[in-house]
Amino acid sequence: MDTWNRKRLLAAGAAGALLVGAVAMPSAASAEPGGSADVAVTVDIEEISEPGVLALTIAGDSVALTEDGSTLLVRQFVGTLPTVTVTDTRTADEVPENAAWAVLGSATDFVGAAGQEPIGAGHLGWRPRLIDGGDTGLVSEGEEVVTVLDEPTQPGNNVGLVDQELLVSTFDSGAVAGDAYSVDAELFLRTEADVAAGAYTSTLTLSLFE
C-alpha cells in the first residue's frame, strides 16, 4: 500500500474514533465570564408499599351511666358504649390462613370515690349492637350478657362483664379484609336497692385478638 493511501486510512480511523467519542460524551455546559450555566438534577422516587394492618379504635374514652328503669328491688343505671370500629387495611393475601378476629371486653369492679363498698363487675352487663357489618354478612355482634342479679337470657350468660365477653367478631378474616366495621353496646349496671350512694368508677377494657 502506498504512503498516500495509508495516510488516508489512518485519517479515516482517527475521525471514526473521534465520532464515537462524541456520541458517548454528555452535552457540556459552558458560560462566558460573569455568566452562568445550569445543571438539571432529577430523581425517581418509588412509592412506598406498606403492609395493611388490623386495628381497633373507640370513639370516646368514657361513658356516664344514669339511673333509668329501677324497681323496688333493683336499681338500674344505663348508658351506651362509645362506637368501636375495627379497621382492616390488609389485602386478603396478607391475612394468615384460617384467621379470625374478635373484640372482647371485661370490666373491673366499681370502686367508690368515698370508700363505699365496691360493686362487683358482675353487676355490669351489655347488649352489643352491630352498626356497620359490611356487605359480606360475616361480621356479627356478640350475644347479650346480663348481670348476676338477672335470670339468664341465654344459657349461663348472667355473669356480667367479669371475664372477656364477645363484642364483635368474624370467623373469616380474609373474607372481610380491606374494610371497616363498627359496633356499640347498651350498658346496664344493676345493683341491690340498698346500694350505698356516691360516685363509682370501673374500667371496661376492650381487646382485639386474631
Residues 6+ apart with CB under 8 A from 5: none
Would you say residue 160 lies in a domain?
yes
Would you say residue 109 lies in a domain?
yes
Would you say residue 42 lies in a domain?
no
Report DSSP state, residue 158. B
21 pLDDT higher than 60: no
In this predicted model, what pLDDT tens digit does every residue of 171-197 receive, in sequence order?
999 999 999 999 999 999 999 999 999
| Helix H or strand E encompassing 124 | strand 124-132
Report DSSP state, residue 186. E
In this predicted model, what pLDDT tens digit does every residue of 58-81 receive, in sequence order?
999 999 999 999 999 999 999 999
Would you say residue 38 lies in a domain?
no
Would you say residue 45 lies in a domain?
no
Would you say residue 6 lies in a domain?
no
Q: Tally the domains of the chain.
A: 1
pLDDT of residue 8: 44
- The rounded distance, in Å, linking the Cα atoms of 142 and 166 is 5
Would you say residue 25 lies in a domain?
no
| Domain extent for 104 | 54-209
Residue 30: pLDDT band (50, 70, 90) is low
The owner of cell 418509588 is 46
Over 18-42, what HEC string results? Answer: HHHHHHHCCCCCCCCCCCCCCCCCC
Would you say residue 92 lies in a domain?
yes
**Pair type for strands 101-107 and 204-209:** antiparallel
Asked if 144 and 156 touch (Cβ cutoff 8 Å), the reply is: no
pLDDT of residue 79: 98
